[in-house]
Amino acid sequence: MTRPIRLEISLPAIRHNFLLTRRHSQARSLFAVVKANAYGHGVLDTAKALADLADGFALLNIEDAIRLREAGLDKPIALLEGPFDAAEAAAMADYRLCGAIHSQQQMDWLAKGSAKRPVDVWLKVNSGMNRLGFRPEAAIAAQARLAALPQARAAAIMTHFATADDDYGVAEQWQRFLPVAAASGLPVSAANSAALLRHPDTHGDIGRPGIVLYGASPFEDRAGTELGLRPAMTLSADIIAVQQLQPGDAVGYGRRFIADRPMRIGVVACGYADGYPRIAANGAPAAIDGQACPLLGRVSMDMLTVDISRLPQAGVGSRVELWGPSAPIEKVAAAAGTISYELMCAAAPRVPRVVRD
């Protein structure tokens, strides 16, 4: 493929970010969250890079868990939403997977399995997120039912915070969850990336770092680099044409940008079909050799345009960093009204990937 666009993944950055998180954590163990293809970074590459560091891995799809097992990874693997049917509950036993149990239906599926290979389960408590889990007043009864199932073994109790990353904090949810966790006598898993950095009293026994592993901040007011993290994903593409604008000239669909002075713009081989957000605003950060060349005009399917008026050395063939060390993904996401998680996960399969170790 000759189209000049690429997505570079830095495995050393992921390792650095894990070790930095470990230094912040008071949890006994850390399960690296590698769901959604490791937030777009590649589940197998990421898991192998962390195989000697992480105490376990957490993900969503049992297919990914089986891939890791078949690739030789022997660390504990947790399914964050548990099984989706009885066959998956049986496969959890076959592949030595643990994971969340958040409903009576999932317990019914477990009950159909073999008592010879009980599944380690994490009892999930709905402490206020109101997505998955048993309400606190029902959690102990759920644990009792688990204890009566020879096909299952309660290995942890877990919850998930809705506002660990903002000023509302976690106190309300933590106060609901903590008495239930204490009564259960089980190891506790509650802290996500934001809680691991901001709420040390919630770290418990098993931390679940996600976005921080990939170099982005979980907080709106701070970039990952300000936390000591290193970006693990760089999206870049080359300039394939240069246009000279005069005052009054418009750029792209919808005439969203109109020049107010003579300008040079670079047309870049990247568009929303590659995962760059169409809604990104004028001025979204981009860089050439570390120098700013902000986005101008509306992003189209296969191209976007940047301002190279102050970069006389830039021209056809110049590489434009669309997010990465010089164009923080958090700032690109903010310019598109979204979060870095979405941009990482949205990078399109058609973009060639280069994994650096």
Instruction: Name the amino acid, one letter, at 85.
Output: D
What is each CA distance from 100 to 106, 150, 152, 203, in whole angstroms? 9, 17, 12, 18
The answer to whether 253 is a known catalytic residue is yes
Question: Quick one: which of 244, 250, 260 has its CA closest to 297?
Answer: 250
- Does 301 count as an annotated binding residue? yes
The answer to whether 35 is a known catalytic residue is yes
- Does 233 count as an annotated binding residue? no
- At 255, give phi and psi (nearest 5°): 50, 45
Whole-number Å distance between alpha carbons of 179 and 165? 23
Q: Determine contact, residues 245/322, Cβ cutoff 8 Å.
A: no
Whole-number Å distance between alpha carbons of 14 and 19? 9
Provide the CA 317 distance to its chain's centre, in angstroms. 31
Whole-number Å distance between alpha carbons of 43 and 65? 9
Q: Structure tokens of 256? A: 């969203």
Q: Determine contact, residues 278/212, Cβ cutoff 8 Å.
A: no
Nearest-Å Rg of the Cα atoms of the chain is: 23
CB under 8 Å to 157, separation ≥6 — which residues?
A: 122, 123, 124, 125, 139, 143, 180, 181, 184, 186, 187, 188, 189
Long-range contacts of 96-103 (CB under 8 A, 24+ apart): 96/69, 97/62, 97/65, 98/122, 98/155, 98/156, 100/124, 100/132, 100/133, 100/158, 101/142, 101/146, 101/152, 102/126, 102/132, 102/133, 102/134, 103/132, 103/134
Catalytic residue among 95, 253, 276, 331: 253
Whole-number Å distance between alpha carbons of 50 and 178? 30
Q: Determine contact, residues 206/159, Cβ cutoff 8 Å.
A: no
Residues at the binding site are 131, 301
Residues at the binding site for substrate are 131, 301
Question: Catalytic residue positions?
Answer: 35, 253
